[in-house]
Chain A
């Protein structure tokens, strides 16, 4: 009862704050009650009040969705955001808006339902029902978010002016101009809420464990699917109405957990109230600042800015090492045959030659010999820096990924998942957009600073030998969310700065200076050589701390050395090319799948794969949409995401995911 009162007090306090800032200054309560006040009263009744109502509805819907998902998964990190529901719904809507605008305008909810449901179902199926309480499912969700984010960026680049308005909305903005949306959303939330609250009794049974619940005659699988479907519905409805506000669904159930409520019904109810209160409170920031800032602050960004640090705190309080679990990707070969190794190594020069040789033309790709002889040398001299930069970026990211996967003993670790990429990107975005520094001169130092800051944070968290690696991955996830909030904020700002930033954010190689390409190559070769030199450390570290220490390895020193290598690789790629997602995740895994078992072999093979991936992406980006060019990083994200989910689904089909 006490906790219910507390939640209600929180809701009323937040509502009061929201309306206090939202109400026009010249409006008194007497005016409102006396039906006077003229237009200021209209602004209150048709603007401020519907906005508060919308915050309550969306917050309640997401809070309930998050609580229900956590009841089913028993995972304090599962939520509509971390399971990819929000990004799935949002990407589907973005695609529909571009390719079928009429459909998107009239059936937004169904499109969001389809996209959100599809991605969530995919992630839960791939992770496996039994492991929903661990980190695996969350990391898969983050990988899906990265991939879908890449899709969104490619779409935005190809439709720059048209989509920029959509991105504003994508960041989640609660502005209202009447009661149309609240009255549309209210019944949806109400129906789903009643259904979910009615299911609280069987959900209580579920908590006893799947076996016991089934023993008492409960159909656990249909129940889980039903609850998930309702949660997806709640999320899709709010995305369709106000855009991608997601973090509330993660914060609300964890706020309730702090209260220590026992009954499932109360947990769901309080999660709903806490969600409404949390969104009201975070949305008060943009409302309060509306008159002071030149630009609009998306509600979703302010929610993420507060939610991301909350996520780290929650993770550190509740994630225990034994819960984290390791995750094995399916279908690996046992050993690597020498011919295969030669083939992979030979692929690098071959793709590089193809990438330098082929160019785009209005009639499709053409070989260099078709160019006028006088221009050939010039053409080649324009192409090689891009190809070299792509190759070096791929090598560096793959090496960083291989090191991290061994270090953290998690095949889903990579610089982007861990937040090193986000840290460096974050620093550049802050330097360019907030501090107004020129991008060209400040990119390298900012990126280095950002990567090192994350490195420092990781080293700090990892001072104790028994800190589970999964906590570091969570920190990365939170950092990535912070970055997303900031980038959305930047894109919402409009103007050409945002567009330039967007191009850079996708990892573009087409305008790389020859000197930069050479510098990047030197860095990536140095990092790869250093890692190869220290391969014994990697081998020992991947056996586990205890084994490594028993063999006389200075764990902390080795870890720190490896982290320095990772941050050098990541920072140089980001500074000279831009953030490249997925290469660091995909290449080391593909190498292991092909049978590269020893640390040295895995480093070399994954570097070769990363190199080929980025060079191929560079070539595709250059010729596929001629004369428009798509950044190599964006294409690599698409290839990488398709590969990851392809492999996971294939593994499922072969029922080889027993290791889960």
Chain B
């Protein structure tokens, strides 16, 4: 029996040795993306991001980009962190322009989420890294941090990545104390929404990128939205009527304000009547790791401004 036992142990060791899943490998130029380990000989210098959250990650890591998908849309919807000047427009995110990509001679193309099936096509041009940032079966915020850290390590900016994340956490903690003081220790429930138009609203909840911002500030989510891929629910505005207390924050821009805010129904909404309804400056809710801190900052600013009034 003895040889068999050794064989068994060996098999077990080999089996487990074959399937370790660290978020990133120890070698600096190896990075694990959604398809497995990817190896590079040198640090890429001509990088293209075809997903806005990935572009955000690189800008936050101070890694220069040469092109992004739909920069106009980025400026309109994401806006922070600002895109550097002179980036090449590579077409819409769901239909990136392969030929223009080729002309730029990139040495790394960053993809995310639904762009996965195209990876093999892009690989003909340059090495590709693809990450599944938003999924129903993982914590989106945690995943963003992992990808941010892995990218930092990959681009030789491990310390910067770690510092920025730590700064963010510290800052959120500080804002939490600030809020707690302003509210005398009793923090309100907060519901974060974006209006699709004057009658329909997107409500952010579990697994959204703004949820960790709310929780980090010590706030409780007001409207229960179960876990989902993008962490949101799409509802008629009347659904907000079920909120009994707490604050509602809506993300700007909202061009049809007059059509909604003037109605008797809206004026009677408990949170509007109580003066617990405030605007948040433009905020991209499907962003990278540091977008959590940016969200926390704007939420804290808005609530603090409200308590001072």
Contacts and interface: CB of A to CB of B under 8 A. Distances in A.
Contact of B197 (A39, A165, A371): A165
Given A46-B265, A627-B89, A495 B94 contact: no
Contact of B114 (A43, A290, A291, A500): A500
Contact of A39 (B114, B117, B228, B269): B269
A494 B265 CA distance: 26
A39 B270 contact: yes
A295 B95 contact: no
Given A43-B238, A295-B233, A627-B91, A360 B99 contact: yes
Interface stretch (A168-176, A399-407, A466-474, A560-568): A168-176
B200 A46 contact: no
A65 interface: no
A252 B97 CA distance: 48
A242 B99 CA distance: 42
Contacts of B235: 290, 296
B277 interface: no
B103 interface: yes
Interface in A269-315: 290-291, 294-296
A382 B123 CA distance: 11
Nearest to A159: B73
Interface string A26-67: 000000000000011011001110000000000000000000
Contacts of A18: none
B238 A47 contact: yes
B200 A294 contact: no
Contacts of B230: 494-496
Contacts of B228: 294
A175 B237 contact: yes
Contacts, number: 160
Interface residues of B, number: 56
A294 B202 contact: no
Interface stretch (A410-418, A507-515, A612-620, A646-654): A507-515
B241 A175 contact: no
B121 to A, nearest CB: 5
Contact of B234 (A161, A440, A492): A492
B260 interface: yes
Interface in A613-632: 622, 626-631
B114 A496 contact: yes
Given A165-B196, A168-B196, A494-B234, A440 B95 contact: no
A499 interface: yes
A438 to B, nearest CB: 8
B241 A178 contact: no
Nearest to A46: B265
Interface string A464-508: 000000000000000000000000000011111101101100001
A24 B241 contact: yes
B180 to A, nearest CB: 29
Contacts of B118: 511
Nearest to A178: B263
Contact of B265 (A43, A382, A440): A43
Given A46-B263, A160-B73, A629-B92, A177 B197 contact: no
A342 interface: no
Contacts of B99: 359-360, 379, 382-383, 622
A503 B117 contact: no
Contacts of A493: 234
Given A177-B237, A177-B238, A294-B234, A628 B114 contact: no
Contacts of A494: 196, 202, 230, 232, 234
B100 A627 contact: yes
A492 B125 CA distance: 35
A177 B100 contact: no
Contacts of B238: 43, 47-48, 175, 177, 290
Contacts of B90: 627
Interface string A509-533: 0110100000000000000000000
B264 to A, nearest CB: 5
Contacts of A440: 116-117
A600 interface: no
Interface residue range, chain A: 35 or more
A539 to B, nearest CB: 42
Contacts of B125: 378, 382
A171 B183 CA distance: 43
B263 A177 contact: yes
A499 B116 CA distance: 14
B66 to A, nearest CB: 14
Given A46-B265, A161-B77, A165-B196, A508 B124 contact: no
A626 B96 CA distance: 11
Contacts of B232: 294, 494-495
A379 B102 contact: yes
A477 B275 CA distance: 51
A382 B94 contact: no
B182 interface: no
B62 interface: no
A631 B91 CA distance: 13
Interface in B79-121: 89-95, 97-100, 102-103, 113-114, 116-118, 120-121
Contacts of B239: 290-291
Given A157-B95, A500-B94, A169 B197 contact: yes
B95 A46 contact: no
B198 interface: yes
A598 interface: no
A46 B268 contact: yes
Contacts of A290: 235-236, 238-239
A439 interface: yes
Q: By CB atoms of chain B within 10 A, which of A161, A296, A494, A500 has the most?
A: A296
Interface string B195-233: 011111010000000000000000000000110111011
A183 interface: no
A177 B198 contact: yes
A168 B91 contact: no
B58 to A, nearest CB: 19
A100 to B, nearest CB: 15
B155 interface: no
B199 A177 contact: yes
A165 to B, nearest CB: 4
A375 B264 contact: no
B179 to A, nearest CB: 27
Contacts of A337: none
A47 B265 contact: yes
Contact of B226 (A43, A294, A630): A294
B76 interface: yes
A14 to B, nearest CB: 20
A160 B241 contact: no
B141 to A, nearest CB: 17
Contacts of B102: 375, 378-379, 382
A290 B234 CA distance: 10
A125 interface: no
A210 interface: no
Contacts of B124: 378, 381-382
Interface string A421-458: 00000000000000000011000000000000000000
19 contacts: A39-B268, A42-B241, A42-B268, A46-B264, A47-B238, A177-B198, A177-B263, A290-B236, A291-B239, A294-B228, A296-B236, A382-B124, A439-B117, A494-B234, A627-B97, A628-B91, A628-B95, A629-B95, A630-B95
Q: Which 8 A-B pairs have the closest CB atoms?
A: A46-B265, A440-B117, A175-B236, A178-B263, A42-B268, A500-B114, A47-B238, A175-B199
Given A157-B95, A626-B100, 5 more contacts: A165-B197, A168-B234, A494-B234, A499-B93, A510-B97
Interface of A: 24, 39-40, 42-43, 46-48, 157-158, 160-161, 164-166, 168-169, 173, 175-178, 180, 290-291, 294-296, 359-360, 371, 375, 378-379, 381-383, 439-440, 492-497, 499-500, 502-503, 508, 510-511, 513, 622, 626-631
